[in-house]
Amino acid sequence: MPLKLILFLKQPDVYSFGIILWEILTQETPFKGMHNFQILSAVAKGQGLPVPDSCDPSYSALMKSMWTVDPKVLPAFCFSKKNQQRNWLFPNSAR
């Protein structure tokens, strides 16, 4: 398929970033013990990973929102002037 016909979507990037946040938080391998087809099925259904109870609620909500399959509610990678006033990725860090 010619490169110009490929449709680029933001959803895989947002989902993947949510998985990376989970990996940083848990220091574990995502989907450990699952076969490739099982992982593909879980991702297609928007299934995320188990978030530890010790996780800050804002991180938990952010990761879970990144694992949705509904593009209407999927968060965007956007750093506007408004977002600069509150560090959405690290809400408890000092500026």
Give 23-60 pLDDT, tens digit per residue.
999 999 999 999 999 998 888 887 889 999 988 898 88
The pLDDT value recorded for residue 51 is: 92
The enclosing H or E element of 62 equals helix 57-66
Say how far apart CA 60 and CA 64 lie, in whole Å: 6
Say how far apart CA 73 and CA 27 lie, in whole Å: 27
Six token digits for residue 1: 């398929």
Does pTM surpass 0.75?
Answer: no
